[in-house]
Amino acid sequence: MATDEWNGDKRSIEELIADYQPGYSMEQRFYKDPEIYKREIQNIFLKHWVLAGHVSQIPNSGDYFLFEMDKESVIVIRTRDGEVKAHLNVCRHRGSHICLEKEGNAKLLTCPYHAWSFDLDGNLVAARLMGEDFDKSQNGLHPARVELVGGLILVSLSENPPSLEAMRKDLADVFETFGFDKMKLAASKTFPIAANWKLAVENYQECYHCTPSHQEYAKVHALALAPEKFSGLKKDFLETNDGSIRLGESNCYFDLAKPGDEGYQYGRNPLLRGMKSGSLGGEAVAPLLGKIRDYDGGASEFMVGPLSFFLIYNDHMVGYRFVPNAHDRCSCDVFWFVRDDAVEGKDYDLEKLTWLWDITTQSDEEIIVNNQRGVDSHFYQPGRLSEMEHFEQSFLNWYLAALKG
């Protein structure tokens, strides 16, 4: 892009990073410059762990779905041995995408171009007319790294991704309490967003916007309250809670993660008094998760890596994944999880289950797009952050360090 685009600003990315003023939002170029986006691909998207999906999407051998981010397409598949693997959807012949449907079942992964065929483990098993000297064993599909957290499938495109071990150890009791290995995906929805991915992640980091922008959310969640009101409610919540669901926070997210570890965070906060779950009127909408015996008026947050976030109510979990598609567009994929033996129509109603975060994400999409439109203006300049935006500051600190590399 010509430098005229930035009104003659010829600063390098390093200079832009060094010029960032803590306590403020970032300069326009971070949200518009394709050169910066290119560096984000290398330094962020191809390095970290991202939520690809859930094991309940691929119960049988050969079941697969595609996870797509920026230019990358990954086949997440159940092998004959029942393992979950991930292969880059790039044929080793001349590079065609192999799976073209978003999900399906396959006995072999056969490229639609010249019919090279790969088994479910990614090994090349058939390639016509390639001559005696052609070594099929050297032409398997490129693997992507996969780790399961309960039934959540995390994927990394790095050969040497950050470690999830610290998180696994620290949060083992949390995963057990909420029954992370005993959930199923009940619904999912993609919200395309005409904005840079960082505006979407930043929006998710702060609840300064919750009261003005999310009436429905603010009727259930205490986090929408002003800080002094929230602290009073949180103090009562902590004093009266029996602690059977972990209350203690683990803040190893973004700039607080140890070098070599993937960032993660866990915390539990009160809902407004009398609310049980994230729904219309705060009503319960599904059977209690895992080992939870009752509603304690709280909800937990969990995040892993820079793009995947979860809100865990006592009866269901909502996952949010922010996926960059290009420098000026991204999407928010929302996933609703319930316990794996819950029956739709009997134990939960899909409309009631998904109502709050469907309506809230629709308004988030609107807010984020409006934000981008203003940031695109010649008159945009970084603005001061409020005290309710400290998580956003943490994200910005981490982001700038990651971009620097």
Residues that bind ligand FES (CB under 6 A): 91, 93-96, 111, 113-116
Closest CB to ligand FES among residues 125, 280: 125
Nearest-approach distance from CB 322 to Fe ion, in angstroms: 12
Please, what is the minimum distance in Å from the beta carbon of residue 103 to ligand FES?
20
**Residue 136 interacting partner from ligand FES, Fe ion, none (CB closer than 5 to 8 Å by kind):** none
Candidate residues 63, 262, 364, 392; the one interacting with Fe ion per rule CB under 5 A: 364
Partners of 336 in the β-ladder: 187, 318
Taking the C-alpha atoms of residue 304 and residue 51, their distance in angstroms, rounded to an integer, is 8
Contact (Cβ atoms closer than 8 angstroms) between residue 298 and residue 245: yes
Q: Least distance in Å: CB of 88 to ligand FES?
A: 13
Q: Cite the DSSP H helix spans in 77-226.
A: 165-170, 172-177, 197-204, 210-213, 215-218
Token output for 310: 């979860």
Q: In terms of CB distance, is 262 or 364 closer to Fe ion?
A: 364
CA–CA separation, 99 and 65 (whole Å): 9
Q: How far apart are the first and last CA of the chain?
A: 22
Residues 6 or more apart whose CB falls under 8 angstroms from that of 38 comprise none
Is 33 a binding residue for Fe ion by CB under 5 A? The answer is no
**Residue with smaller CB distance to ligand FES, 92 or 184:** 92
Q: How far is the CB of 144 from ligand FES (least distance, A)?
A: 18
Residue 246 binds what, of ligand FES, Fe ion, none (CB under 5 to 8 Å, by partner type)?
none
Report in angstroms how near the CB of residue 128 gets to ligand FES at its nearest.
Answer: 9
- Rounded distance between C-alpha atoms, residue 290 and residue 246, angstroms: 13
Q: Which is nearer to Fe ion, 277 or 360 (CB)?
A: 360
Residues in a beta bridge with 332 = 191, 322
Residue 313 beta carbon to ligand FES: minimum distance, rounded to whole angstroms: 45
What angle, 0 to 180 degrees and rounded to 10, lies between the N-to-C axes of helices 197-204 and 350-375?
A: 120
Residue among 110 and 241 whose Cβ is closer to ligand FES: 110
- On whether the CB atoms of residues 64 and 353 are closer than 8 A, the answer is no
> What does 96 bind: Fe ion, ligand FES, none (CB cut-off 5 to 8 Å by kind)?
ligand FES
Nearer to ligand FES, 114 or 142 (CB): 114
| Residue 94 binds which of Fe ion, ligand FES, none (CB < 5-8 A, kind-dependent) | ligand FES
CA–CA separation, 66 and 71 (whole Å)? 13
Give me the least distance between CB of 92 and ligand FES, in Å please: 8
Residue 364's binding partner among Fe ion, ligand FES, none (Cβ under 5 to 8 angstroms by kind) is Fe ion
- Residue whose CB is less far from Fe ion, 364 or 392: 364
The dihedral over CA atoms of 141, 189, 152, 309, expressed in degrees to the nearest 10, equals 110
Give the binding site for Fe ion (CB under 5 A): 364
